[in-house]
Structure 1
């Protein structure tokens, strides 16, 4: 089962959690008060760079005379689409730049370059996902309705196809997000006419987006329309796969915990912070990879402060690491390859029924709860004087205890002990010795 008592799981008192929330609120105020020209210039330069790269890439696709030139230009177009999707579209739609009061760079007006509607995405992502992050039954981003990524989701025979579904979702990620957003929007309270309006709006956006990529630009290329069409398909595929990898590595590797509805009840703002911290994971990235991922390599920082500008996440991460050290909380991170391999392991493992899985539903890499710390109680570990004992120390103690139990075999039963002792004291006889033993027994019987 998922976590139902976050304070018990984190090994923090109510006072500790409130103190952590107070420090995070202070960090948020400091960053908000310091926003200014430097940040506004960053997003304006990013938009200008992305649009220039997009235009140059499309021009090179049309004018290149060698296959290598077409490959480079197509890759550049895929990079431009990734920047627009991650660093611009995702972050602008989060309201990270609303403080500028620029009507163009605003969450209420920005429409991104993919088949899904940004307005529908804002509801499913900004509200359903970020408010109810990793709450089973509320956060529809937990597997996007097609993947089982926690044992709290009941197994169904269709999950046996999960590895193939995962590959299909990666290749068609923008389409999966569009349908996922429509499903979330339709679950929102409203009349039948409103739900029909949302469906028609999505169909209109799909028609405009596919018409631009697969009709307008190829027709403008004249005789080279096939090259342009192939380049657009390839660039969209590259963008889809990259976006999928970044999102999955921030939400589904080991250490990104899940929560029950019971935890959500009567949740304080400080507990919300703690849930965001424990429910996400980072991956290590340099400046270029961070930029291409929309700075979502800092997924922990993004979930703590989703509406703060993404260019501030790198500096915020230093303070978040220090707070994790202070409150003895794990800062879940690793290389991009490692985080993705852990995610793949979860996806392939949970395609099977629970009876084929070894770990329990309270103490598995992908699913854990506070119950795993209750029985059996792990042996204490040595800690420095004055050090706060939190989740990180508790996890380390449990890991050490698990290794101890593996190295020490269980005590053998009495029969096994007698046989083992006898064999250890009396070496097995050789062939001549067996002959003498047989002859001795024959002689003794005859006499």
Structure 2
């Protein structure tokens, strides 16, 4: 239940961060700090800085922080070949589709994001976001310390983050990681967004599970649009794409997830071939 509430609060803070809930931007900003800070223990400024870069240049190396894999993974079709030609082997990339299950979903939120969030708040002296974040942990330990003690409460929040991290990674990566990744090519807005994103089929469960980010294409084209309007504009976007011969990919939830692993294996194989033969 805690992991579910954290995941859904994550989608809610995403809405406020995109200014897509309240009519006045000021209220969105205030509620964003409350939800991401007090309900999730993170930083609004850290999220804004990171997420807006992603929206501006999705799947563009060195510009989209979401595909900065810190040499742990090689992604897409070009990066693996570049690493292979240069004989770079920070990890056994031809096994990345296997160690992804050990490094990716379990660790992104509880380890990588937490370290990055607190390092950013302290380095930027963002005391307001730090206070909001601390209010989450103060409330959490006040609730659970009497039942589980200090170390038990730490174990509880760690396990909640572990579960939430799996949820977050699969939802966010199935719409982006299998898609085209490249260096900056100065593409027009529509083409760039469509090449980097795909949708997952609409259903009551998929909408709830993904916070309506199963409409990833519409979200990237209209980032301030309220989520409940995505299904209304989707047929218009699809018709526009068909008219101009542009790709508009829609997958099942299962295919979206399996394509994540499939794309990692393909990239790893490309790296191995370039590493051995070029």
Q: Hey, what does 2:18 align to over in structure 1?
A: 94
1:312 aligns with 2:229: yes
Q: CA–CA distance in 2 between the matches of 1:200 and 1:168?
A: 31
Could you say if the C-alpha distance between residues 234 and 340 of structure 1 is closer, same or farther in structure 2, counting changes exceeding 3 Å? same
1:237 aligns with 2:162: yes
SS at match of 1:176: helix
1:176 aligns with 2:99: no
Q: Hey, what does 1:246 align to over in structure 2?
A: 171
Say which of 218, 225, 245 aligns to 2:144. 218
SS at match of 1:135: coil
SS at match of 1:308: coil
CA RMSD after TM alignment: 3.3
Q: Hey, what does 2:46 align to over in structure 1?
A: 120
Report the Cα offset of residue 250 of structure 1. 1.0
Q: Hey, what does 2:256 align to over in structure 1?
A: 339
Please show how residues 44-63 of structure 1 align to structure 2 within 5 Å: none
1:257 aligns with 2:180: yes
On the 8 A contact 1:116/1:181 being kept in 2, the answer is yes
Could you say if the C-alpha distance between residues 304 and 321 of structure 1 is closer, same or farther in structure 2, counting changes exceeding 3 Å? same
Say which of 86, 89, 99 aligns to 1:164. 99
On the 8 A contact 1:93/1:110 being kept in 2, the answer is no
Could you say if the C-alpha distance between residues 101 and 139 of structure 1 is closer, same or farther in structure 2, counting changes exceeding 3 Å? closer
Moved more, 277-286 or 91-100: 91-100
Q: CA–CA distance in 2 between the matches of 1:106 and 1:201?
A: 12
Q: CA–CA distance in 2 between the matches of 1:105 and 1:203?
A: 16
Report the Cα offset of residue 205 of structure 1. 6.6
On the 8 A contact 1:133/1:279 being kept in 2, the answer is yes
Alignment gaps of 5+ in structure 2: none
Report the Cα offset of residue 144 of structure 1. 3.9
Could you say if the C-alpha distance between residues 292 and 106 of structure 1 is closer, same or farther in structure 2, counting changes exceeding 3 Å? farther
Q: Hey, what does 2:54 align to over in structure 1?
A: 129
Report the Cα offset of residue 202 of structure 1. 7.6
Q: CA–CA distance in 2 between the matches of 1:342 and 1:148?
A: 15
SS at match of 1:83: helix
Please show how residues 5-44 of structure 1 align to structure 2 within 5 Å: none
Normalising by structure 2, we get a TM-score of 0.78
Report the Cα offset of residue 257 of structure 1. 1.7
Report the Cα offset of residue 251 of structure 1. 0.5
Normalising by structure 1, we get a TM-score of 0.51
Alignment gaps of 5+ in structure 1: 1-75, 186-193, 358-447
On the 8 A contact 2:77/2:181 being kept in 1, the answer is no
For CA contacts below 8 A with separation 6 or more, give which structure has more relative contact order. 2
Q: CA–CA distance in 1 between the matches of 2:264 and 2:164?
A: 22
On the 8 A contact 1:115/1:178 being kept in 2, the answer is no
Q: CA–CA distance in 1 between the matches of 2:260 and 2:148?
A: 44
Report the Cα offset of residue 120 of structure 1. 1.0
Q: CA–CA distance in 2 between the matches of 1:196 and 1:243?
A: 26
Q: Please say which structure displays the higher CA radius of gyration.
A: 1
